[in-house]
Every structure is written in C-alpha cells, then in structure tokens.
Structure 1
C-alpha cells in the first residue's frame, strides 16, 4: 500500500505574475503553472485516494483562509484557499484553471501563506485523538517575490521553522528568476527589494532543511519522467529447503521471504464509457466513447457512465435452422483448445489431474553459470531474502549465497506459491552487494514451452552432397569480418558520454533511459487534461527521443569505418520495386533491334498455360500481351489447373500447389489492374468447393485459402476493384445451406 501524502501548493497569482520578463513569450504565471500542472495532473493519474493536494492562492483579490483552519483572517490578507486537502479529480483541475489567473493586487505575505498551509496540513492529518497520523507532508511555494512581504521577527521565524520540523513537513521553494549558482542562473539588474525577499525566503528554506530552486530548473526537470516507487508485497513466506527435512536431519531448511524486484511497465489503458444525455436517466442505448476520465467541467449537461458487460451463451436449437436458445452459465462445461478442437474434461477428471501441492521452495539441482543460456529467462525477477528478524536464517542464507558465488553456480528450485497451485521451476542466482545479500529468481521453461527451430549455420555452407564449404558468396570473408569489427568499435557508446567532471563515461546509462511508449502516453494524457480543446499535440520531450538514433558526432566520426565496411561487403543500392505493371507500360527495346516477345506474340498459335509448369507459363503469357481477352483466357486456364489440383489431391497433398497458383493469379491481376478476373474466379472456386464439385468434401481447402489470406481484391488493395472491404470480409462466411 502506498504512503499517505498531504501536499499544499502555494501559487503566487499577483498582478506582477501576469507580466512577461527576460524575453519570454509566456507570463510568469503561465510559466509557473507548467510546473504546477505537471505535478497535479500526475497525481490525478495515479487515482490514489491517499494522495491529497491542497492549493492556496497568494496575492489574490480577496481573502479566505477559513478552509485552512485559520479563524482570524488578520495578517492573512490577500490569501485564499482555492482547494482544501483532498484527492484531486479532473473536475477539480477544471475549477483550478478558472481560479489560477492573475489578480489585480500585489499585496500578500508569502510567510503568512506558509503558516496557513502548515495549519491546513496539521488539521487534515490529525487523528480522532488529536495525534498526528502517518503522512508524508510537503509545502510547495511558487512565487516571484515581486510583491510586498512583511519581514517576520526572529522569534516568529524560529517558531515557524520549529513547527515545520516538528510536523515533518518538507518545504520546497520554487522562485521565478531566483538566483541559483548550482543551476547556473543569475538574474541581472535585480531590484534590491526582490533580492532582499529572495534572500529571506532562502534563509527560511535552509533553516527548515528544505529545497530551494529557481523555476527554470523546475520546468526543465518536467521533461524527465519520474520513476514509480512501489512498496514491495511479499509473494511467498516459507522455507527454502535442500533435501527432505522430514526424513533427514542433514537437510537444509531456511526461513525466507520473496518480493518482486523488476516488472514490465505498461502504458495506461483507456476505459469505455457512454454519454448520458440526461444524468437522471440510465439509458444505455447512447453511443460509446473511449476516454480516461469524466470531464466534469460543467461545459454541458452530458455526464459519463461506465459500460457494463453482459455475456450470453447460446446454442443452436435442434430441428430449427438458424434458431438459437440461451444457456445458463452454470450449465456450461469447460473446454480446452487442442488445435481447432475443443476437448471436454469432466470436473471429476480434472480434480484427479490437479496436483495436490503445498507452499514450498525446494532446491532440485545446481548448474554452472557458464552452462546457463540467458534466453531461458521467461518472467520478471524476484528477490529472496531471509525472514525478517531471524538472525539464524540470515546467517544460513548468507552462507548459501556465498557458496553459490564462490562455486560460480546457480540453483534450480521447484516453487509452489500456494496450496494446489501448479509448481514452477525457478533459477536462483546469488546477489551480493555491500549492504545487501539475496537470491534473484526467475521462471524457467518446461519442455513444452520450448520451441526448437533449425537454422543453417552462419560459418559454413552445406551442399546437397553433405559437403561443407567455408568460402561462398553468402559467407563473410575475413576482410568483411575485420571491417565489421572496426565499425562496431568505432560506434562504441560505453565511453562516448561524459560525467559531471568531464571524464569519459557511458553514453546511455540504464537509469537515464526511459520507455518512450509509457512516458509519452502519460505526457499526452496529462497535457490533454489541461488543454482539452487544443488540436496539435506537443512534441515529445528530448529525453525520450535522445537514444532513438545514434549520436550525430559519433556517426560522423565513424564514417570512414562505415565506408570501408560497405566496400568490403560490396553493398549496392537496390532500385525501388515497381509498384504496378500497367498494360500501357513501354517495353525497353533490345540493342539488336529484334524484340523476341513481339516475335513470339505475333505467332498465330495462341500462348496457353502449361498444366505441367503452370505458374511460369502463366506469367510468360501475361508478359507477352496487352490484350484483355488473352488475360481472361490465361486466368481461365490457370483456374482449370487449380480445380485439377484440388480434385485429384489425396487428402491435402496438392493443396499447397493450388494455393500458390491462386496467390500468383491474385498478385498478377492486382498489378495488371484487372481485379474483376480474379474475384470472379474466387467466387466460382468457393461455389464449387461448398457444392462438392471438386472431388467431394474439400472445405478444408477453403480453410487454407482463408488462413493464407488470398481473398478478394478489395478497394483497399486496388482502386479498380468494385469490392468493398466489408464485402471482402463477408465473403469468408460459408454460404447458407440449400433449402
């Protein structure tokens, strides 16, 4: 469970915040709100009820601090509570957007706003008995210090600092154009009044042990994604055993706990809602829309409701064609897919097949490190540590970990997390750090999980006569290997970067690389929450695209090695493939002046598709003519070959040849812009198959046609087709049975 948090943002909305400074195209308030909205929308996205946010406006036109728990408003002039501490929703973001606008006043004391925030947090995080609850408390003050501020005396300032430390509140001060030597920013021609207030606020922050930063640094840090920190929840608490402790006293038994270590981060998913035109009505017939949250902006009377899914099971009614009846779910039996067949296993049989396992983690063997193949790691990793507070278990597990490390071995264990749960096979690897020791585990595949694929060797060619050739045009030469090695060395990223001291360092460290998919989606959702009507999306942050391409300097420096590699590999540019072969194409004339194709086409004997060699003869026939009648004849001839293959096939022995003929016909007719010829053939093929005119029941051939996706040529594939995409999909449905 995540920690409870209470954060109060104090936003300066004074008149001076509505001005632009230092050549920026944004006002100081809009610039500051970039940081504010990023933090608030990130909190909204978590959906956590334990993450409470409050907002106080500084230098507002009016005064209202009663919601902060301050009874006497004297001394809190021009300070307004814009939102009490609570879970922030998207509707609250809309309300805050309307309130966070520049005021007409520059009056207001920032220290008094901090005191109001302290009071708000103290009242909201106090239990029923009056004692403070366990919370992470934070106050974030965003100001330009251009307004007036009443300096507090030393006693009052000490009391404020003491209260902040006593309540465990972290004070964060974000200043517009504040000087920050560490970040490297200093405002020129700063007024004495602003410099004095800035120094005063900095002293307050330092005394509280807080964070002081200039707004430029805070806004720059927005693009850097924040990694999600989760509290680990143990997935196993039991014993790690070696041998059978019930039979042998020499068996090893260690009390351990198992926690997740790494997991796959996935982008957030959309949810389906429907718009209720009348909030009082629960009519679910309106159209559905996919959104992430209820807008709640009050711009119209439409509200969103969640779409509920209901599942119905139906079977065909005996004796009535097309009639179906509903079947209650409690009358259904489980079926397991075995290829395309559903296999039913009765409940009594399934109980027998289930393993009667108990929670356990048993070591069943050891393997050397150098014998383990990394591709066998299947799942996320977990860490196994000794039971908390058990010194004996800690000592025993430490001895076992060091034994694995010193022998360069891994342990293989059988793991069952709960009773009657299918066991897994885990690999246990030692992890030794200066202040931590544990075992890293991940799941290994069973024999049924492994798929073996055979590929030809890369270092030799095996001929039909089973001879091995080490020199071949498909095999790399020593010169090519050396050139590739030199290019890889030239593109080395391990020392291309620089550290803080200017020394060579890794260019792409793991802790600075972020998933573009996950964080880009998060960024867009947060941005859309505060910009619901904008048409263009913002560009992705540079940190997300930095490592998508090699560094320009390194690519330029490695050009000589790349050119040498291209020379050694005889790399040549491949001409672009011709998109279409239209009938109006112009053929190249031979140097001799004699066109063999024209001589052959002029022969009175008509070219035909050879049944013995159908595909080459079909292509040759199409290549030697522009006559549509010849196209029709060639398609009809090849269609006869396809029918012959299917009719004379023993089982599915000749289905592959028929499919290849169909595929070639489809490609050629698409290129020659004659889709109607192929579509007519496919309709006839379907009719013959379902009518049983091709040697009996050949519906399995139709399934192969569908699986290989050699369907109708639709308008998406060819603009000359009259078949729509919807009609092409409907074509796959079997014809209705004859009446």
Structure 2
C-alpha cells in the first residue's frame, strides 16, 4: 500500500514556507495531492526529502494515467491569494493551482518556479483553505473521494481555536487527511522514543536525533490530537515521514482498474447452456506509448516527414508503386503470391463469441504451457438457475479431478482458441479458471544427452548430495509446520521494465541534455535475493564449488585461409579488400584467389557474373595502387588479355568498352595508368566477335 491513497478524483496540494530549525542553506519544496506542504527555506536531509516525495507522487499519477485532479496550495508565502483571505485572516496562503489533472507543467513549476517565502502561516488555516477549495471546485461533479495531504516541519505558530470545526467538517464531507513530517510524530524530545508510532518504530534508527523546538513540539501535539480524533484506531498511522513517503513513492505503479465483464453462454452439447460472465485475472502488462517522435532540432512533431517507398531487390533498386505489390510467402526457393482477396477467402469465419465445452479429461493430463492471460469464469450475476448449474459443474469437476476442454472465441473478429477450464473453489466464491492450450507447432521439445550415459560426466554421490543441499537452501518458502510464508513476494515487486522506463522519462523531461541516470538503488535492492536465503546458501554453495572445480579452457581460434573465405562468397571484391589490409598478408597469394574468382565469373558467361568480375578488377586495381603492387596488377591485365583472345568473351568485352571500365581512368601518374589505357585500346579479332 502506498501512503498516498490516490483514488480520489479531487485533491489539493498545500505548501508551507517556514524557517526550519535545522542549519543549512536555502531551499524551496513543493507539494502534491490534496495536501498542505511546508517548504522550509533551509536545506537539510529531511527538508530536501519533502521535495522528492511530492514530485514522485505527481509522477506516479501522470505515468499511471490517473484521472485524479490535483490542486496546489502554498502556505507561508510572502503574498496572499485565496478566497477566504481578509485583513487579519488566512494571510500568507496562496492557491497556486486550481483542481486540474497533473501534468509536466505542474512538475516544472514545483522544481523551478516556486520559491520559498520568508513568512509563516498556521497550517490549520491552510487546511481550511484547502477544504473550501475542494468544496467549491467539486460542486456538480462526480467524484469518489476528496483528500488532503499536508507537508510541514511544524515550525510555525498554530492556533487550536478552529480545531473542532475542522474535525467536524472533515468528517461531514468525508475528506481524508494525511500528514508528512521530516521527523516521526512520536519524537517529542531528544530521546527518540518511537513507541507510539508504528511507522516511527519501523524507521526509528534512520532519523537524526536532534532536539525539536517548543513550537514543533506544540505542532506535534496538535497533529496527533487532530488525527486521533478523526480516527481513533488508524489516525496516527496516517502520519508519515518524508523518508517513508519517498520509499513508497519511489516505485511507479499503474492504477488498478476493475476488469471488464465478458458475458457469454457456457454450452455443453446442443441442449445445455449456462449464463456466465468472465473477467481477466492475469494478463500481460504492456507499455503504452505516451510520446511521439519529434524533430531533434525544433522539437516539433510536424517537422518530421515520413515517406515510405517500395523498391525491387536489384542493383538499381527500382521503385514500384504500393498498388503493384501483394503479399507473398516463401515456399522453398519460390515465392507464392497471396492477395488480400485470397486472405479474406481463406480467413476462418466465426459467428459470435463462444465458450463451448468440447469434452472432459483428467487434470493430470493437462500442462499449462501456453497463453498470455488467465480468465476467471463465474455464473451470471442475479441468475439463480445459472448459479446452481454452474456450481454443480465446478464441484463435479473438482470431485472427479477433471477439467473441461473449451473452445473460446472472444468475438467475431477474433480467431478461436482451445483452452482448459479447471475448477477453483474458495471459501468466498467458486469459479472456473480458463487457460489457453498450445497447438502442436507451439511446443518445442528439447532433448539433451543424459549425464548417466557418460562415465566421464557421471556425478558422484557427494556431488549429487551437494547439489540437493544447495537446492534445499534456496527454498523461498519458510514453513514452521503449521503455516508457511513466502520470503520473496513477486506480487509486491513492481515491473522492473516499467520502473526503468518511467525513471528515464522522468529524468529526460527536465534534463534532456544529460545522460540517463543509474538504475534506482531501491529497485535493485527489491530484486536481490532475500538476506535469509543468501546466508543459508553460503555453506552449500562453497561445498558445490569445492566438488565441481572450474578450469578455464582456452578456445582455439581457427584461422581461415583466403581460399576458405572466397569459396562460395557472394562479395569476393570486399573480402579481397579486407584480406590484403591484414597484417602479414601476402598480396600475391590473396590476389591469386581473387583472380581465380574472376575466372569463374567469366566461365559462367552471364551479365550478372560479368558485373561481379568487373567489380573485382576495379578493387584489385585500387588496392594494388595503394600497396604499390602495380606490377602484379599489370601482369594480371596481360593474362586477362590472352584469355579474351583465346575464349569467345565478346559480350564481356562489349560491357567493358561501353563505359563500364571508365571508372578505371586515373591521372596517369604511374605505369598502371598506361597499362589500363593500352588495355582499353585493345580490340578482339573479328573471329571472336
């Protein structure tokens, strides 16, 4: 449970500026919720903490898409701005923001705009202003509750004249109240006695033991009297420290919403039908994208222009129109076209939503391998006949240890699923829980070789005993014979992915040019192994290490030759470029491998092979010039000339003389240039053309 009960539709934040009794510098602290906030103008640990919990509370509501509205009231300000202010009443209290949904503008105000004042104000007067604001701004609106949160160090004068009126009105309007202080409410002197507060008892060793002023002692008495009168049993538990609120609010939590009912008919055969209603019990939680792409310079969404083009997979990347494209599926080496008409024709057509029992089987035959959600199925509310029939089905399945195999269709636009519905009986209710079953292609069966078949890897009795002891020591359930307790509770741990995402968004909202912050330490601690389990595992773990010694095995790196790399490679030109630039590379050997590939391209006699051969010749020339191996390239040209004379390669020659070899032209500063010019002037005999 978070200390902020943010189910309210309307809330008010109050800030109180006063002089703190702790030494330090100046600081301004904001607030949130329906709360009164004390913004001490002295920087100390507790005073700094007030700033963070308030921001965390607002961040929580923004990222959780909460519909709660928040107002901000500051007290202890230099000026006065509220509807109750008169010449000598409700002075130095300012309504900074009326009831609105929290947004980043409010966060920016709290961080950068609101400055600490030098005046003092009565926090009870601030509560009255908050109650008046909530009363006036919620007229004619529907809301679930109203709530006030007060942040203060109690270092200002307080008058109890209207305390009874405040208590009566809070009870009458059903407005809840919480206090947040920089010290435990039970600390009334330097002794640090925390016996009267559960929260203080939990953190009694985490607060500095500094003497409170007489004014703060009086304020604590008023707070305790107020909260105890409002609720004799749990009133004092609504008094929190800044540290406690920070610990609870440091984790982002999505607002829990009531699941939508899914009414349907459970059918067994053609003649038996039971009205049911299903709810999602467990489902995958996905991040909702709340941001859009903007231009990096202007930060405007409109300046980002998206353009999609479709191109053929050829050398020229020929563009085609979207209307000329249809879906295709690869079948071996062929691509089978599949138009939208074919898709509509072959699409499975369902009628309406369905929850039909296909048969029954023993529960031991079913393994829960599949599905991203679980449904709880109940009898339709208010239907007595359905309730009796449904209860009989659930109890019969439970007694016989059977489950129902069900055909489930959410609506006519969804494909059908095959799932299992198993009975679930509790003291307060009974239902069926539906889980999707896998199809054959959904299963992946991995078979691993047995350790028992290899004498080399067969574990000894001591090794088996050590591993068994380690597994027993890692048990996360503590049992004392009658009861059991989970030592690691995943349900209490927030989604780490969401925590990190929202932490980064929160940081970038106000520090766009700074690097992302490290992962919150509080989150890392929540994900760590329970200390009890860690201590229990030490001895078995050391035993396992001793019985299973690890030896580092150096992996031998297989060296590939140029022939291995060039073999069946689709881009020998680039491979040649990489190989010749390696240390200790033999240019002559590597170039010979490239020449062999060029010969293969010429033997195939096709335009696509000729183009690859020309690319190889071009790269050969470039690297020969860079590495001063011009003579090697000239020798290749002479050999190529002889091959062209001996073989009918007129088509290859035509490609070269029609401009494909123009990229070979250089500035004529070396013999390679002259050799290329002579090569280009060469003409095949007419008998070869």
TM-score by length of structure 1 reads 0.66
Q: Does 1:574 align with 2:552?
A: yes
- SS of 1:162's equivalent in the other structure is helix
Q: Helix, strand or coil: the match of 1:412? A: strand
Partner of 2:276: 256
Alignment of 1:324 with 2:319, yes or no, is yes
Aligned-partner SS, 1:97: helix
Q: CA deviation at 1:382?
A: 2.0
The corresponding residue for 2:487 is 507
Alpha-carbon contact 2:487-2:530 (below 8 Å) kept: no
Which residue, out of 411, 415, 422, partners 2:415?
Answer: 422
Residue equivalent to 1:230: 257
Matched with 1:195 is 217
In the alignment, structure 1 residue 95 sits paired with structure 2 residue 95: no
Match status 1:523 vs 2:523: no
2:522 pairs with 1:542: yes
The answer to whether 1:458 aligns with 2:462 is no
SS in structure 2 at match of 1:495: strand
For residues 419 and 684 of structure 1, do their structure 2 counterparts lie closer, same or farther at Cα, with a shift above 3 Å needed? farther
1:5-26 Cα distance to aligned partner (Å, 9 max, x none): 21212222223388549xx973
Selected match of 1:179 from 168, 178, 185: 185
Q: Distance in 2 between matches of 1:165 and 1:403?
A: 50
Question: In the alignment, is the contact (CA less than 8 A) between 1:60 and 1:78 conserved in 2?
Answer: yes
* Whole-angstrom distance in 1 between the partners of 2:10 and 2:167: 18
Q: CA contact under 8 A between 1:364 and 1:414: conserved in structure 2?
A: yes
- Equivalent positions of 1:129-278 (< 5 A) are 132-152=141-161, 156-180=162-186, 181-182=197-198, 183-184=200-201, 185=204, 189-209=211-231, 211-226=238-253, 228-234=255-261, 236-245=262-271, 251=272, 253-267=273-287, 269=289, 271-274=291-294
In the TM superposition, residue 259 of structure 1 has moved relative to its aligned partner by: 1.7
The residue correspondences of 1:649-664 to structure 2 (distance < 5 A) are none
Q: Which of 12, 19, 28 is residue 16 of structure 2 equivalent to?
A: 12
Deviation, structure 1 residue 456: 3.9
CA displacement at 1:143 relative to structure 2: 0.6
SS for the counterpart of 1:16 is coil
The match for 1:56 among 68, 73, 76 is 73
CA distance in 2, matches of 1:676, 1:44: 64
Residues 554, 353 of structure 1: CA spacing in aligned structure 2 closer, same or farther, 3 A cutoff? closer
Map 1:59-138 to 2 at 5 A.
Answer: 59-66=76-83, 70=84, 72=86, 74-105=88-119, 107-127=120-140, 132-138=141-147
Partner of 1:396: 389
**Structure 2 match to 1:441:** 434
The residue aligned with 1:292 is none
- Give SS of 1:135's match: coil
Does residue 288 of the first structure (1) align with residue 296 of the second (2)?
yes
Q: Residue 390 and residue 669 in structure 1: after superposition, are their counterparts in 2 closer, same or farther (change >3 A)?
A: farther
Relative to structure 1, is the Cα distance of residues 533 and 482 closer, same or farther in structure 2, using a 3 angstrom cutoff?
A: same
Q: 1:26 aligns with which of 39, 44, 61?
A: 44
1:491 and 2:513 aligned: no
TM superposition shift of 1:379 = 1.7
> What is the CA distance between 1:190 and its match in structure 2?
2.6
User: What is the CA distance between 1:199 and its match in structure 2?
Assistant: 1.5
| 1: CA distance, partners of 2:64 / 2:306 | 28
> What residue in structure 2 maps to residue 591 of structure 1?
none
* Matches of 2:592 and 2:175, distance apart in 1: 78
How far does residue 341 in structure 1 lie from its aligned partner after superposition? 2.7
CA separation of 1:4 and 1:565: change in aligned 2, threshold 3 A: closer
Aligned to 2:57: 39
Relative to structure 1, the CA distance from residue 697 to residue 456 in structure 2 (aligned partners, 3 Å threshold; closer, same or farther) is: farther
Partner Cα distance (2:496, 2:588) in 1:
47
Q: 1:393 to 1:341 in 2, by over 3 A?
A: same
Q: 1:34 touches 1:219 (CA, 8 Å); kept in 2? A: yes
Task: Measure, in 2, the Cα distance between the counterparts of 1:317 and 1:219.
Answer: 57
* CA gap 1:507/1:553 in 2 versus in 1, 3 angstroms: closer
Question: 1:207 deviation in Å?
Answer: 2.8
- For residues 543 and 309 of structure 2, the distance between their equivalents in structure 1, rounded to whole angstroms, comes to 66
Is the alpha carbon distance of 1:677 and 1:227 closer, same or farther for their aligned partners in structure 2, counting shifts above 3 Å? farther
For 2:349 and 2:408, how far apart are their aligned partners in 1? 13
Residues 63 and 244 of structure 1, relative CA distance in 2, 3 Å threshold: same
Task: Tell me which protein shows more helix as a share of its residues.
Answer: 2
Contact 1:108-1:148 at 8 Å conserved across structures: yes
Q: Which segments of 5 or more consecutive residues in structure 1 lack a partner in the other structure?
A: 246-250, 275-286, 290-301, 461-469, 582-614, 623-633, 647-657, 703-711, 713-734
TM (norm. structure 2) is 0.71
Match of residue 373 from structure 2: 380
Residue in structure 1 matched with residue 670 of structure 2 by the alignment: none
Structure 1 window deviating more from structure 2 (350-359 vs 169-178): it is: 350-359
Contact kept in structure 2, 1:266 and 1:518, CA below 8 Å: no
Contact 2:281 2:375 in 1 (8 A): yes
Superposed CA offset, 1:16-61 (max 9, x none)? 388549xx9736542211111110122222344x221111111111
The alpha carbon displacement at 1:79 in A equals: 0.4
Relative to structure 1, the CA distance from residue 4 to residue 204 in structure 2 (aligned partners, 3 Å threshold; closer, same or farther) is closer
Match in the other structure for 1:305:
301
Deviates more, 1:337-346 or 1:221-230: 337-346
Which whole-Å deviations, capped at 9, do the CAs of 1:110-155 have from their partners, x for residues lacking one?
111111111212222221xxxx522332111001110112222xxx
User: Counterparts of 1:141 and 1:417 in 2: how far apart (Å)?
Assistant: 47
**RMSD (Å) for aligned C-alpha atoms:** 4.5
Q: 1:134 to 1:51 in 2, by over 3 A?
A: closer
Q: What number of residue pairs does the alignment pair up? A: 570
For residues 483 and 508 of structure 1, the distance between their equivalents in structure 2, rounded to whole angstroms, comes to 24
Q: For residues 606-685 of structure 1, what are the structure 2 equivalents within 5 Å? A: 635=562, 638=564, 642=567
After superposition, what is the alpha-carbon deviation per residue over 1:150-193, rounded to whole angstroms, capped at 9, x for unaligned?
222xxx43332232233322111112224242122486533333
The one of the two structures with greater contact order (alpha-carbon pairs below 8 A, sep at least 6) is 2
Unaligned runs of 5+ in 2: 1-5, 26-41, 187-196, 613-618, 620-654, 661-689
Distance 1:337 1:432, change over 3 A: farther
1:241-272 Cα deviation digits (max 9, x unpaired): 11112xxxxx2x11112221112234565744
Matches of 2:176 and 2:596 in 1, distance apart? 76
In the alignment, is residue 561 of structure 1 matched against residue 540 of structure 2? yes
